[in-house]
Amino acid sequence: MAILACFSNTPAEKAAIRRALAEAHKAQDSLLIANLDREPISEANLGIDMNALLDFGVPLQVLPQSDTVHDPADFVLQSEQDHQVSLIVLGLRKRSRVGKLLMGSVAQRILIEADCPVLAVKAQD
């Protein structure tokens, strides 16, 4: 089994990565990171020390978003199906009412459509 963390370079998603790492360590699962950005993930923008992964003994795999999947929610939900995911961890950020209406919500779709439990994490202020 694996823990799937969603990543886009935001404080909320960095908090989600740290929580997913703790959950993976606790459950003795591997950690999958669904990269919702088109840019490669570096240790600096991930927000965790890669040596911590080795210390915790948590196997890590970064799942790059393919060019054929343009919707981040579709990418996360497909990743859940492709890998034996026991938990999805994602970051939440506050959005305006207009932003919610016009843009839709990736987090909302994942929360509603995922087959496994979803843990939503807020960034520390």
pLDDT tens-digit series, residues 82-104: 999 999 999 987 766 665 554 55
pLDDT at residue number 87: 98
pLDDT tens-digit series, residues 21-53: 999 999 999 999 999 887 777 777 776 666 766
Tally helices (H) and strands (E) across the chain.
6, 5
- DSSP for 74-106? HHHHHHHHHTTEEEEEEEE----HHHHHHH--H
Across the strands, what pairs with 9? Answer: none
pLDDT at residue number 100: 57
Task: Among 6-10, 69-73, 101-105, 108-112, name the one with the lowest average pLDDT.
Answer: 101-105
